[in-house]
Amino acid sequence: MKLSRRLFTLVLSLAILGTNQAVADDPTPTPTSTESVTPTLSRADQVTFIQGKYNPMFDAQYARIMAVKKKHPVDSYVLLNIDIILKDYNEVRRVIDASMLSATSDLDAMDSYADEETGEFQVMITNLEQLANSRTTITCVKAKKTKKVSGTKPKCPTGYKKK
């Protein structure tokens, strides 16, 4: 037992003392995605570049949202989802526009934020379009009363008949 402890201690001490410290070489700086968007441009030119890059994307996404809203003007479930997306959309645009006007904001961060948000809106709008396309609206009639019913499989309320 004593021999195995001594042997273990000897092997462990050789392993610890026999290894050299690892020293990292100084890496040469390489451009990364976190560096400035356009380092040779002035701040005003950088703002113009970023706005030119993302404003058309945001405008196209807004047009897609409005197209869904126009297509389903009475479907309360779709309209609720559109309102949620529009609130988020307006807040994101407000933050980006305010940051672009600020002389102290980090343009690289705003570029990354705008890129991230356009991707998120792309997914949300696609899901909204799929939701809207899966829902239908029917008109139900009872005497002189009419009701519009929306859903994935809409049915007329009791006493109403499909028009």
3-class SS string, 97-111 = HHHHHCCCCCHHHHH
What mean pLDDT, rounded, does the chain reach? 82
pLDDT the model gives residue 75: 76
- Whether 146 is in a domain gets the answer no
| Distance from the first to the final alpha carbon of the chain | 94
Nearest to 55 by CA among 114, 126, 112: 114
- Whether 150 is in a domain gets the answer no
DSSP-derived secondary structure letter, 45: H
Q: How many domains does the chain have?
A: 1
Of the pLDDT bands very low, low, confident and very high (cuts 50, 70, 90), residue 34 is very low
What pLDDT digit, counting tens, does each position of 40-94 carry? 888 889 999 999 999 999 999 999 999 999 987 777 888 899 999 999 999 999 9
- Whether 56 is in a domain gets the answer yes
Q: How many residues does the chain have?
A: 163
- Whether 115 is in a domain gets the answer yes
DSSP three-state, residue 145 = strand
- Whether 140 is in a domain gets the answer no
- Whether 59 is in a domain gets the answer yes
- Both tokens of residue 13? 């001490």
Q: Mean pLDDT across the stretch 28-39? A: 51
- Whether 48 is in a domain gets the answer yes
What's the one-letter identity of residue 97?
Answer: D
- Whether 58 is in a domain gets the answer yes
